[in-house]
Structure 1
């Protein structure tokens, strides 16, 4: 029996998130496990007048690639992959992993090589997205693997996913438009200040954002969504932070990450588990030790850590920062092959903007 929530989610993705118009060229990429949602998104896009291509993958190919490829193969990027970044008007990617731990024991150096090889593609992808030439959205189809990571049954996890996206509302698109308006007020507040100072248990961090553009993530690129973010001035990050939740990279968890920054650069990094992966990623390139994104999670319908960054970085009452690549639309200029989000709970923290208290008790004072 078809789950009617798939149809409602597809309508939001195609009409609200991607804003598909007649004549748009759209590619939908997803694992075979996401077939029910792919069908509904395909149907909705055809009804909207798009020209649609699908790329359906099968589970386990990434593991084969990393285990069997030579370094030369990992560095090689097929030309069609470069061309499609220029060709399509819109891209919808649906995650539906059946085993989120398949890359756990892969040599982290191989992961780093593959990331480096895609630097130019990701740069062009972000350039087109920043100008509005390319519309993209990333979402997730619930699977047993994700449910297990989140320590839920599949039914519980399905409810969690759809509730986080407000699919249970009568008109989810209208609800996201209302959230967009609320988050825009926070954007206005933050853009009127320069120095941000976050202080609390295991965190005393300062960075500057004067002249940078804060962006309201309101369901257009990630779905579900709910955050505001920018790229800090590259040499302005100073202080220390311990990330409350494990930092997950390709299914591998790095626990109790502690970073110390000096003039924008990580000068000390430790972890109680996975420190080898942490150091490998920090050494990918020069930009990997600098911060490409700072953000505040604002989706208070997400309150549980699930080991999936699509949801976890949006947890209401948290902040996150990403080591590596900046988003050009923020004005950030840091370049790197990686973009690794790490999340800290702000339950006992306060946030000051140019000395003014703007955030406490897990919320902005104007929220």
Structure 2
């Protein structure tokens, strides 16, 4: 067993979801090595909890997302019933082809999100379980980063398996400063020049509990305070679609 797998599994079980004895956790494994799923099951068992596994494939999901409404709602009903039995959720999302879901028309993807993802994940899983989600370092992900697969894997595990307790302490001064802040001004490459207020909005430091890797302190703008231009200078892929130079 790759020791990087066992270290990450232990982090997800003991830190991210803080699994307790006799709790149930659903592990959704999207196109990841079987060995990582096995490492997670063993880590769950080690704390006296119970692992449940759903193996997923991006290619198969692309077909399921194109089902008729009745098929989607029945699928959602079944998975919602299972999710309601869980106290925790760990989702590891790999993928052999970042464009796999581009075959699904936009309207059908929206329908699947409304009929399946919303009730199962956004309403039940997010609100009623201790959850953590993360990507898996596939060859396609390494390609997007412009790195060889092995080098990217090493990078991935290093940034995922940091000392999150130390990070939590390091985030405290930033979170405190943000709570005292009113005006924010962001200037960046291209045309990015944005101002807004975060006064009295609140700040949430994130240190490896919901997402891995982690390290953000997030807030949001005061409504109607945003002024300026935000231009993205890095390509990204979402639901199989590539986006560039969004302004």
When normalised by structure 1's length, the TM-score is 0.61
- Name the counterpart of 1:144: 139
How many Å apart are 1:137 and its aligned residue?
Answer: 0.8
Q: 1:105 to 1:59 in 2, by over 3 A?
A: closer
How many Å apart are 1:158 and its aligned residue?
Answer: 0.9
Distance 1:247 1:125 in 2: 28
- Name the counterpart of 2:49: 50
Distance 1:219 1:200 in 2: 27
- Name the counterpart of 1:106: 104
Structure 2: runs of 5 or more not aligned: none
How many Å apart are 1:53 and its aligned residue?
Answer: 0.8
Task: Give the aligned CA root-mean-square deviation in angstroms.
Answer: 2.3
- Asked if structure 1 preserves the Cα contact closer than 8 Å seen for 2:26 and 2:88, the reply is yes
- Name the counterpart of 2:67: 69
- Asked if structure 1 preserves the Cα contact closer than 8 Å seen for 2:193 and 2:228, the reply is yes
Q: 1:85 to 1:237 in 2, by over 3 A?
A: farther
Give the structure with the higher percent strand: 1
- Asked if structure 1 preserves the Cα contact closer than 8 Å seen for 2:194 and 2:230, the reply is yes
- Asked if structure 1 preserves the Cα contact closer than 8 Å seen for 2:88 and 2:129, the reply is yes
Which secondary structure state, in structure 2, belongs to the residue aligned with residue 158 of structure 1? helix
When normalised by structure 2's length, the TM-score is 0.88
Which secondary structure state, in structure 2, belongs to the residue aligned with residue 46 of structure 1? helix
Q: 1:210 to 1:121 in 2, by over 3 A?
A: farther
- Asked if structure 2 preserves the Cα contact closer than 8 Å seen for 1:96 and 1:141, the reply is yes
Matched, 1:179 2:178: no
Distance 1:231 1:6 in 2: 35
Which secondary structure state, in structure 2, belongs to the residue aligned with residue 54 of structure 1? strand
Q: Which has the higher contact order (CA 8 A, sep 6+)?
A: 2
Give the structure with the higher percent helix: 2
- Asked if structure 2 preserves the Cα contact closer than 8 Å seen for 1:28 and 1:53, the reply is yes
Matched, 1:205 2:194: yes
Structure 1: runs of 5 or more not aligned: 259-367
Q: How many residues align?
A: 245
